[in-house]
Amino acid sequence: SQQGEEDPQALSIQEGENATMNCSYKTSINNLQWYRQNSGRGLVHLILIRSNEREKHSGRLRVTLDTSKKSSSLLITASRAADTASYFCATVPGGYQKVTFGIGTKLQVIP
Amino acid sequence: DAGVIQSPRHEVTEMGQEVTLRCKPISGHNSLFWYRQTMMRGLELLIYFNNNVPIDDSGMPEDRFSAKMPNASFSTLKIQPSEPRDSAVYFCASSRTGVGANVLTFGAGSRLTVL
């Protein structure tokens, strides 16, 4: 079963705009991660935020986490055509082991 | 490190045939995961191992599916007999549990088509 649900399922923006993707989950977590998948490839880890953190930055990526609402968002600033990919959130419960993915957001950045 | 290595990359087989997918995790990683990705169901966790021991196989769809990890450097996912609805991309991923909070490194996937 899927733990996280991303929203929107698809997003199309112009190059230079910001892209925001949201993830909601159901059970308590130890941490939440975001991954990226280019077409025909495996997933690549982008950023991790722990349950006691509220915001984290990495380059053009900004992740927020609201454990009271069981939700997270991924913001990509100043998007580029190369950011075109699918983005997934993954939840990790206590125990550090089971990693469950949402259905993903398909982002298209138009040059 | 060469990363997580999966084989074959593509497999086309006929219904009823046995399919074996292989995975070599990153050296030093102690957890291994098998996922299945389809358009309809997204990325489903099938089974994961910790220190070569299966921990949770609740995602394995049917008895036709089985997975083994005989040692720390090799795992297989077997489907016998295969059916057209098994057509999907199967991913293997590995991680070092407890370090980096279980960040996964994925292989390139094995695309299975069952005719």
One digit per residue, the tens of pLDDT, for chain A of length 111 reads 345 677 788 999 999 999 999 999 988 888 999 999 999 999 999 999 999 999 999 999 999 999 999 999 999 999 999 999 999 999 988 765 788 898 899 999 999
DSSP state of B26: P
Q: What's residue A2's pLDDT?
A: 43
Q: Strands, E, within A1-111: which ranges?
A: 5-7, 10-14, 19-24, 31-37, 43-50, 55-58, 61-66, 71-76, 85-92, 100-101, 105-110
* Integer Cα distance of B71 and A11 in angstroms: 42
pLDDT tens digits, one per residue of B28-83? 999 999 999 998 888 999 999 999 999 999 999 889 999 999 999 999 999 999 99
**Contact flag B101-A41 (C-beta cutoff 8 Å):** no
Residue of B4, B42, B103 lying closest to A101 (CB–CB): B42
Q: What's residue B28's pLDDT?
A: 92
The confidence band for B102, taking pLDDT boundaries of 50, 70 and 90, is confident
Q: What's residue A3's pLDDT?
A: 59
Cβ(A36)–Cβ(A44) under 8 Å? yes
Residue of B42, B55, B56 lying closest to A2 (CB–CB): B42
What percentage of chain B exceeds 90 in pLDDT?
A: 85
Q: What's residue A1's pLDDT?
A: 38
Looking at CA atoms only, how far is residue B102 from chain A in angstroms?
6
Residue of B56, B91, B107 lying closest to A98 (CB–CB): B56
**Contact flag A42-B91 (C-beta cutoff 8 Å):** yes
Strand partners, B92: B34
**Contact flag A43-B104 (C-beta cutoff 8 Å):** yes
Distances (CA, A) of A9 to A32, A74, B15, B92: 19, 13, 32, 24
Q: What's residue A51's pLDDT?
A: 92
Contacts of B103 in chain A (CB under 8 A): 33, 45, 48
Alpha helices, DSSP H, located in chain A:
none
B1 pLDDT higher than 80: no
